[in-house]
Structure 1
Amino acid sequence: MPDLKVAGFKSSELITGLQTAFEKYSDKEKADLIKKTNGIFELQVSNEAKETATWTIDVKKVGTVYKGKAQPKADVTIILSDDTLIELSEGKLNGQKAFMTGKLKTKGNMMLATKLDAVLKGAKAKL
């Protein structure tokens, strides 16, 4: 498994857990997730030190997570803080509220961004 951790980012654990969950999915579960989601999410996460880490969640073809910009191009880029990503994954904040309050910005297919919640919840259930 590739190293997905980035020093200084609390969400590194979340991203690593997401990849672990994807690896635990059966082929059918993964195919269902890909069919339901059909998108590539690029997360641009900034921490308190104003550093940015980029991770890509590909739920279009393979169901994987990797560090760096999306290859091919992301369907949606989500720009948020480390704390906001953690709050979203823990269910303390919903994506719509985060967007409306300016804690989350998107570029690209905004409707696809709403599916990230389901991807995170599904992975959490698998762990």
Structure 2
Amino acid sequence: MSDIKVAGFKSSEILAQLAEVFSNFSDEEKKQQIKKTNGIFEMRVKNADGKEGVWTIDLKQTGSVYKGEPKAKANVTIMLSDETFIQLAEGKLDGQKAFMSGKLKTKGNMMFATKLDGILKTAKAKAKL
């Protein structure tokens, strides 16, 4: 899991915790999450230095989080700053507000992007972030 963490990206810590939560799900929990979400998120996060990191949250096939581009076509690509991702994950910022204020951009199925909030909340509850 540690290959998910990238120096200079605070959001990679949260994504690593998310990956751990998914890996600790029972097969039944994983199936439920995949059935509920049924899609792939490509996360493009820019850090304070302007570097971009790419992670994939696959809740269509594997129920996993990994560093790098999606192996299958993503339903939505979400582009945001490291700081914005942290605020979303901590529940301090609403995804729709982030989008409306230009802090978050999407490419692909914008309505699918709204499911990310629920995934982060589920993971937060499981991991006690």
Tell me the equivalent position of 2:74.
74
Tell me the equivalent position of 2:63.
63
Alignment length (residue pairs)? 127
Show structure 1 runs of 4+ deviating over 4 A: none
Q: What RMSD in Å do the two structures reach over aligned CA positions?
A: 0.8
Deviation of 1:97 after TM superposition, in Å, equals 0.3
> Does the aligned pair in 1 maintain the 2:11–2:86 contact within 8 Å?
yes
> Does the aligned pair in 2 maintain the 1:2–1:66 contact within 8 Å?
no
> Does the aligned pair in 1 maintain the 2:2–2:16 contact within 8 Å?
no
Q: Say whether residues 1:93 and 2:93 are aligned partners.
A: yes
String of CA shifts for 1:47-93, please: whole Å, max 9, x gaps. Answer: 11100000000000110011111111111000000000000000000
d(CA) in 2 for partners of 1:91, 1:126 = 15
Q: What TM-score do you get using the length of structure 1 for normalisation?
A: 0.97
| Identity value in percent | 63
Tell me the equivalent position of 2:122.
122
DSSP 3-state at the match of 1:19: helix
DSSP 3-state at the match of 1:69: coil
> Does the aligned pair in 1 maintain the 2:5–2:12 contact within 8 Å?
yes
What letter is aligned with 1:121? K
Tell me the equivalent position of 1:21.
21
What letter is aligned with 2:27? D
Structure 2: segments with no counterpart, 5+ residues: none
Deviation of 1:2 after TM superposition, in Å, equals 5.2
Q: What TM-score do you get using the length of structure 2 for normalisation?
A: 0.96
Q: Say whether residues 1:102 and 2:106 are aligned partners.
A: no
Deviation of 1:14 after TM superposition, in Å, equals 0.2
Structure 1: segments with no counterpart, 5+ residues: none
